[in-house]
């Protein structure tokens, strides 16, 4: 069995060989730090990997490959419980089943309440951590979307990181370090998760969604390496046909420069009304502009391969500087939207900037 498959629960995680290899090494060497920071885009497996790691650290089944009969003790690392590392399904023991179902008392998940993780949530966590674990050999706290902590919550968590509780590991997940307090970032060991390779996403969509390979290729490109986004776009509950919407978005943006002001504002209004689809819509536009730049240098690496002829016609009509400026404008709009600025105004400004030749 390879290193990437050696810990219970990791066998179901695709496209993250390096992070899993690093975690396996920490586990095998009995050198797990008190805090880990999983970095990467949404939907690439950070939370499921954290859950699988919690299962590995607390599995009560001894199998071939047992180790740590005499666990080493280091001042700056946690002691690893006596257990095996050989892989298997996540329901091999009562502890694994509880963690998998989210009912284990010592595997604690903290998630945003609304848009933020608030100080009351961290204070409640601190009260829990002041007590000994109920039954776990190693208590695991998973703080999902840690970038959503408001400043007071971040400062409260910092106290926990400065004086970590015994037999406890904290796993934070976030998109990037710049979204967190530097003092929190510096007290965690970082593990970066990459976007899931498109081939993996395509295979998953064909297998799990029954999609035609050509359609799966389009959705995989739009999902930008995120399994959850790919599945959300193809959910039966999703009223949007994303393959058609992508064409509409690109056609609208391509024609903005020759349309009257009223039509441009109408496009901004339409985007603002489709609030749930807005984030993915902006990502689709970034991918389009990205392809216009890539075409100039390496046409074989475009993402929207089915739109090759459209890209071939559009790319020569725009300079690299102009295209990069539009991508930066979308980035700025996304940042403003996350900061909860006026949505309609933000999109109107964006549309006007995208309309410039």
Sign of the C-alpha dihedral, residues 248, 253, 256, 261? positive
So what's the pLDDT on residue 87? 39
**Residues composing the chain:** 357
So what's the pLDDT on residue 67? 30
Q: Does the residue 233 lie in any domain?
A: no
CA distance 317 to 322: 10
So what's the pLDDT on residue 173? 96
Judged by DSSP in three states, 172 sits in strand
- Do 25 and 168 sit in the same domain of this protein? yes
pTM confidence score:
0.74
- Token pair 């600025």 in the structure block, residue: 341
**Contact of 41 with 195, CB cutoff 8 Å:** yes
So what's the pLDDT on residue 59? 82
Alpha carbon distances (Å) from 30 to 85, 184, 284? 12, 23, 43
pLDDT in tens, the chain (357 residues): 343 344 444 555 666 888 888 888 888 888 889 999 999 988 888 998 999 889 888 887 744 333 333 233 232 333 333 333 333 445 568 888 888 888 999 999 999 988 889 999 999 999 999 999 888 888 999 999 999 998 899 999 998 999 888 889 999 999 989 889 999 999 999 999 988 888 889 998 999 899 999 999 999 989 888 888 898 899 888 888 999 999 999 999 999 999 999 999 999 999 999 888 899 999 999 999 999 999 999 999 998 999 999 999 999 999 999 999 999 999 999 989 987 889 999 999 999 999 987
Structural domain including 317 reads 239-355
- Token pair 């919550």 in the structure block, residue: 153
- Do 163 and 306 sit in the same domain of this protein? no
- Do 252 and 170 sit in the same domain of this protein? no
**Contact of 84 with 35, CB cutoff 8 Å:** no
CATH code of the domain covering residue 298: 1.20.272
Both structure tokens of 78: 């946690």
Q: Does the residue 198 lie in any domain?
A: no
Of 192, 226, 252, the residue that ends a domain is 192
So what's the pLDDT on residue 69? 31
DSSP string, 212-258: -HHHHHHHHHHHTT-HHHHHHHT-TT----HHHHHHHHHHHHHHGGG
* Cβ-Cβ contacts under 8 Å for 76 (sequence gap 6 or more): 33
- Do 117 and 248 sit in the same domain of this protein? no
So what's the pLDDT on residue 317? 92
So what's the pLDDT on residue 55? 87
Number of domains composing the chain = 2
Q: What is the CA radius of gyration of the chain?
A: 23
């Amino acid at each position: 069995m390879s290193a990437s498959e050696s810990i219970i629960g990791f066998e179901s995680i695709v496209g993250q060989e390096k992070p899993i290899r690093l975690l396996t090494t920490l586990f095998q060497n009995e050198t797990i730090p008190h805090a880990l920071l999983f970095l990467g885009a949404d939907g690439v497996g950070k939370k499921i990997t954290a859950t699988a790691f919690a299962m590995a650290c607390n599995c009560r089944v001894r199998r071939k490959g047992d180790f740590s009969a005499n666990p080493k003790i280091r001042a700056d690392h946690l002691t690893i419980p006596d257990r095996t590392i050989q892989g298997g399904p996540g329901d091999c023991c009562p502890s694994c089943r509880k963690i998998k179902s989210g009912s284990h008392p010592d595997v604690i998940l903290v998630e945003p309440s609304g848009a933020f993780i608030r100080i009351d949530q961290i204070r409640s966590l601190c009260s829990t951590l002041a007590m000994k674990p109920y039954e776990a050999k190693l208590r695991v706290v998973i703080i999902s979307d840690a970038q959503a902590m408001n400043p007071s919550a971040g400062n409260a968590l910092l106290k926990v990181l400065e004086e970590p509780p015994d037999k406890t590991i904290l796993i934070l997940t976030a998109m990037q370090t710049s979204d967190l307090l530097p003092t929190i970032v510096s007290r965690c060991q970082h593990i970066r998760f990459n976007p899931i390779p498109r081939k993996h996403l395509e295979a998953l969509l064909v297998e799990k969604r029954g999609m035609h390979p050509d359609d799966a290729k389009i959705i995989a490109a739009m999902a930008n390496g995120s399994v959850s986004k790919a599945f959300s776009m193809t959910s039966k509950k999703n009223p949007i046909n994303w393959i058609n919407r992508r064409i509409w978005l690109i056609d609208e943006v391509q024609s903005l420069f020759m349309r009257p002001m009223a039509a441009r504002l109408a496009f901004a209004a339409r985007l603002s009304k489709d609030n749930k689809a807005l984030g993915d819509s902006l990502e689709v536009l970034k991918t389009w502009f990205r392809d216009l730049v890539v075409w100039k240098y390496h046409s074989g690496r475009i993402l929207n391969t089915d739109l090759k002829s459209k890209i071939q016609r559009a790319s020569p009509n725009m300079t690299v500087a102009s295209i990069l400026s539009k991508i930066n404008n979308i980035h700025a709009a996304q940042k403003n939207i996350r900061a909860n600025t006026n949505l309609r105004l933000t999109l109107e400004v964006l549309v006007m900037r995208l309309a410039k030749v």
